[in-house]
Structure 1
């Protein structure tokens, strides 16, 4: 059976780089050129080791590292404050990305990037397309947003925990099944993405509301929906609809990829990029 492994590239690389950079904080921009080169070399070696470990663990027949767009995406257009609290990519890592990407290709691993879309949209589109054909799919990332895909049969692997994240993990961490995560986050918000949620609705209240229906329309129509919360949801309807879109990964992208381009090891010198 085909087994496609989709790696959230910057989720992996930025964490590995941060470990190498930590001893030089808070003044990484004042490093000597030799130290800067050593930092990147160490990062490259850490990426190499991590990829080999992931491959050994997941045993892919097809493999691709998916990179985020370097330009603002449709989410920024929809909600300008999206990820406004995120620290920018370190300048040294930004400069070294082409070199790191080249190293990854030399390992026989395909890479892919599509301007205007985050990695999660690309990964979700590839994952769902493969699942529609009953093929095995594993996503490698620590991004909790991918937990929303567990209901479709996708596997989610956290390389740093060395563990698979499943429905039991989601239920224990958030108190809801994966199919309700997007509605849950649209109510309580998500500080990592700078999405505020609905003021006055915390996790406990959100869980109580989500027990009343599978959609917000059902919740509002339920006789047990408290009047105060009914008014609050109605008042913030536009915001909630916006947050639902922000949390929902795109699964309909036409990427122009075929499985042969993603076979591991990859023999094609060119990487797929739009």
Structure 2
């Protein structure tokens, strides 16, 4: 049987669940989040039936993206201290479930997951990524990678991306380079609609740059070429990190 690796975006799961837990005080809210996260992950393991599993945490900043763009994630709401100080308890709970965890200073979970997923696929391993982070949609260009939204109970596919965005997964990085988001500056004055229209008309950021007499949003992209290229680098996940992670060490044995 083909090996199947489940990769879990830890903070994506934890923060979504923590925000939904109702409790009389902050400490009780975290206690409830730990219990609910374990239950949610147990369901995900039951649904996916992986032979191997890994929970990946974000490492402490700065990352290579901060070096390129010091304001990276500066607008993002910080994690509550009471939750941050209990991440070790979440980590312990995952280990108690028989799931290995990974965290390395300076590395974001997105890049770690992307690199492990691509390397696993090259070795013939089926991969499921558990996250609601849309940045992973760019990996749908890799045949066999499954992106699972645990909360909505649906898979993101090339077809769903095309339906929602009007774009192919391989166009998303260029789209984000122009549109930007909360973490990436994008090109000033273009926005989501302008970026989508340019991608549908030109197909890629490079083709926008090649226009002889750009007008409107295309002119803004060409005038801010350095900003667009910076945003393109920030949006693209790292897929070739050497992490020293071996598949045989990630085997998950069901209870």
Matched, 1:125 2:115: yes
For 1:207, the equivalent position in structure 2 comes to: 196
For 1:264, the equivalent position in structure 2 comes to: 252
Q: Is the 8 A contact 1:212 1:222 kept in 2?
A: no
CA RMSD of aligned residues (A): 2.0
**4+ residue stretches of structure 1 with deviation over 4 A?**
none
For 1:17, the equivalent position in structure 2 comes to: 18
Q: Is the 8 A contact 2:44 2:150 kept in 1?
A: yes
Q: Which runs of 5+ in 2 are unaligned?
A: none
Residues 148-178 of structure 1, C-alpha deviation per residue, up to 9 Å, x if partnerless?
A: 0011021000011011111222112222111
Q: Please report how far the alpha carbon of residue 230 of structure 1 lies from its aligned counterpart in structure 2 after TM superposition.
A: 4.7
For 1:150, the equivalent position in structure 2 comes to: 140
Matched, 1:244 2:232: yes
For 2:29, the equivalent position in structure 1 comes to: 39
Q: Secondary structure of 2:86's match?
A: helix
Aligned residues: 253
Q: How do 1:62-211 residues align onto structure 2 when only pairs under 5 Å count? A: 62-153=52-143, 154-191=145-182, 193=183, 195-211=184-200
> TM-score scaled by structure 2?
0.92
Identify if the C-alpha distance between structure 1 residues 136 and 222 changes in structure 2 by more than 3 Å, giving closer, same or farther.
same
> TM-score scaled by structure 1?
0.86
**Aligned-partner Cα distance in 1 for 2:140–2:218:** 30
Residues 39-58 of structure 1, C-alpha deviation per residue, up to 9 Å, x if partnerless?
A: 33322210110111000111
Name which one, 1 or 2, has greater alpha-carbon Rg. Answer: 1
Q: Is the 8 A contact 1:69 1:116 kept in 2?
A: yes
Residues 49-84 of structure 1, C-alpha deviation per residue, up to 9 Å, x if partnerless?
A: 011100011110000000001222111111111111
Q: Which runs of 5+ in 1 are unaligned?
A: 267-274
Q: Is the 8 A contact 1:71 1:115 kept in 2?
A: yes
**Aligned-partner Cα distance in 2 for 1:221–1:71:** 36
